[in-house]
Amino acid sequence: MIGKRIRHLKRYQEIVSVLVKYGFGYIVKEVGLFHLLSLPKQIVSDFNGTGNDQKTLGKRIRLMLEELGPTFIKLGQLLSLRTDILPEQIAEAMRDLQERVTPVDIQTIDQIVCRELGAPVSEIFAQFDEQCIAAASIAQAHHAVLKTGEEVAVKIQRPNIDAIVENDIEILWDLASLVDKRYEWARTYQILDLVEEFSLAIRSELEYTIEARTTEKLFAFFKTDERVIIPKVYQDYSTAKILTLDFINGYKYNDLIQNCPADIDKKTICERLVHSFLDQALICGIFHGDPHPGNLLFFSGNRIGYIDFGQVGHLSEPMKRDFGDLIIGLMRGNTNLLLRTISSMAVMPDDLNERQFKTDLDMLRENYYRLPFKKVHIGAVIHDIFSVTKKHRIHIPKNYTLLGKALITLEGLITGLDHECNILEFAEPYGHRLLIRRLDPEELSKKILMNGYDIFENSIRLPGLLRKTLMHLNSGKTRVEMKLPQLEFLLAKVDRAANRISFSIMLLSLSIILACIILGETFGSRSLLSNVPVLSIAITIVLFMFMLVLLSIFRSGRF
């Protein structure tokens, strides 16, 4: 960690200064990064947290992340999904994060294209607009025309953004480790796991070959559906840092709100939004993770276009089933089904109070049992579920939180278009459809065969595993792991107490030695050493030893 701080010293100083600026100086001091501040800031800054107004906490965190740049903006966007661990007020503030960036000049863009595609812009494209059509902290997009005549959108990564992100990720790991050691809440909410999740997500977003594959899968999935438009990927003009797709230009969401075209029906659009999204999530298993107005386009004939698949979620077959069971359990008032489903889809803490958890689920169920679909808001349902899981420190996997956030965004879009429309009313047929699929003889036989195969495989492996276990027991190689969460805390207290006792003994010893030397000098007889400054030498040696012990105690950080 020390090596990282030296290597990224300037960036560390920037981050620490911004933390102090927005009222988080007490964290800087408590985790041991106080020395990275300049002397004037050390003098004038507040390190007690006395200026912390909880009402403005979310806003201050948002402004801080915006000032820290692209990596931290992306971190904020991830945190906005985690209402299972963050207070809603802070998560809501994270959703207002804005990327204020200056577009990269055309000369730099030309250099990137030449390096990635092997030729300058003028040789590859028949036309390439110098003015970008969209600019963000990670990339910007330009309209272009291929030599073969197709209109395309070219998404180009900003120069050196991958190096900037990697440096910031290293620093985030260091900061997260320091906070994890210092604060109980950081361990409770598994902040290190959160940083790991974020690292994987942003590295994936920087790799355009992954986005290209995802877009191609959804393009193939909706190829025969005329109601949904997914842009085609041009692989010959795409690399890890450049993504070239069909340029689709339709009505924007605000066009429908302000002056809806005559060839578009809002209610039909709402229904198709819900159906197309559920098709992605519950049938295809890949869904758009951020269906906000900027990533949607609308066309005559009530067609919908999705763009920008940098943030996507994935649902496996068991995850699809669990999500369906969650909604069914709420609507049918089945607490046991809710308990089983959440246990299956989430990571439960070892010390879970199952009785209290079931009581909370009963209360949650009562809020929605026998309630008509048109009166149920998906945002409220998801918020209530996350509130219960957060209370019991249950960890919800990223893809579920991403799905929840996407559904909340979708509900907001639908409400904005037509107040009478309800997302669950449109989704109800999917519930019946999923139920019919589960009861389909072919599906049931597949499941029975797979379960039978697993049982058969495990029964074959069981004797070997049992023999191996018995051999380990017989040879004494078996390890027993004990998880004692409070042990480290108790050891730290014992260590601190021992250091204080050592300090006291040193003070007492110093006093006794000095007293003996003074008495000896005062009342003792003269000798050959009478002319040697024994008192001064002795005091110097004792003080030197005393300072060595004292320094080692303080360096341990446990005094």
Residue 247, token pair as written in the block: 């340029």
Amino acid at 542: V
In a domain, 240, yes or no: yes
Contact present, 299 and 277 (Cβ < 8 Å) = no
Give the side-chain half-sphere CA count within 13 A for 526: 1
In a domain, 421, yes or no: yes
Range among 26-30, 231-235, 355-359, 418-422 with highest mean pLDDT value: 231-235
d(CA 60, CA 27): 15
Specify whether 85 is located in the same domain as 156: no
> Strand 228-229 to strand 303-306: parallel, antiparallel, or no bridges (unpaired)?
parallel
Domain that holds residue 112: 102-135+138-164+201-247
d(CA 18, CA 24): 9
In a domain, 418, yes or no: yes
d(CA 343, CA 84): 15
Residue 438: what pLDDT?
Answer: 64
Contact present, 88 and 181 (Cβ < 8 Å) = no
Residue 152, token pair as written in the block: 């395309």
Residue 528: what pLDDT?
Answer: 47
Specify whether 268 is located in the same domain as 387: yes
Domain count, the chain: 5
Number of other CB atoms surrounding residue 452 within 10 Å = 10
Alpha-carbon distance values, 116 to 109, 113, 133, 370 (Å) = 11, 5, 21, 58
Specify whether 172 is located in the same domain as 255: no
Helices (H), 440-486: 441-475
Specify whether 312 is located in the same domain as 396: yes
pLDDT band at 529 (very low <50, low <70, confident <90, very high): very low
Cα 422 to chain centroid distance, Å, stands at 29
Specify whether 235 is located in the same domain as 109: yes
Residue 123: what pLDDT?
Answer: 93
Q: How many percent of the chain have pLDDT more than 90?
A: 21
> Strand 312-314 to strand 286-288: parallel, antiparallel, or no bridges (unpaired)?
antiparallel
Specify whether 50 is located in the same domain as 67: yes
Mean pLDDT of the 478-492 span? 57
Specify whether 287 is located in the same domain as 361: yes
Specify whether 379 is located in the same domain as 464: no
| E strand segments, 11-169 | 125-128, 134-135, 139-146, 151-157
In a domain, 484, yes or no: no
The enclosing H or E element of 200 equals helix 191-206
Q: How many percent of the chain have pLDDT more than 70?
A: 74
Name which residue leads in pLDDT, 531 or 417: 417
Nearest to 292 by CA among 501, 16, 80: 80
Residue 477: what pLDDT?
Answer: 64
| Dihedral Cα 413, 415, 416, 420, nearest 10 deg | 140
Residue 500: what pLDDT?
Answer: 62
Indicate the SS3 state at residue 242: strand
Point out the least confidently predicted range of 42-56, 158-172, 446-460: 42-56
Number of other CB atoms surrounding residue 172 within 10 Å = 19
118, pLDDT greater than 70:
yes
In a domain, 113, yes or no: yes
Mean pLDDT of the 196-208 span? 86
What CATH number does residue 120 fall under?
3.30.200
Specify whether 233 is located in the same domain as 287: no
In a domain, 464, yes or no: yes
| Cα angle: 165, vertex 102, 212; to 5 degrees | 55
pTM equals 0.71
Note the pLDDT tens digit of each residue in 173-193: 888 888 888 887 777 767 888
d(CA 162, CA 551): 42
Point out the least confidently predicted range of 8-17, 230-239, 245-254: 8-17
Specify whether 515 is located in the same domain as 400: no
Residue 283: what pLDDT?
Answer: 86
Specify whether 261 is located in the same domain as 206: no
Boundary of a domain, candidates 186, 221, 247: 247
Range among 204-218, 316-330, 463-477 with highest mean pLDDT value: 204-218
| Cα angle: 237, vertex 238, 241; to 5 degrees | 135
Indicate the SS3 state at residue 278: helix
Contact present, 16 and 28 (Cβ < 8 Å) = yes
In a domain, 481, yes or no: no
Contact present, 103 and 133 (Cβ < 8 Å) = no
Specify whether 405 is located in the same domain as 496: no
433, pLDDT greater than 90:
no
Computed over every residue of the chain, the mean pLDDT equals 79
Residue 524: what pLDDT?
Answer: 57
Point out the least confidently predicted range of 82-86, 272-276, 299-303: 82-86
In a domain, 483, yes or no: no
Give the side-chain half-sphere CA count within 13 A for 547: 6
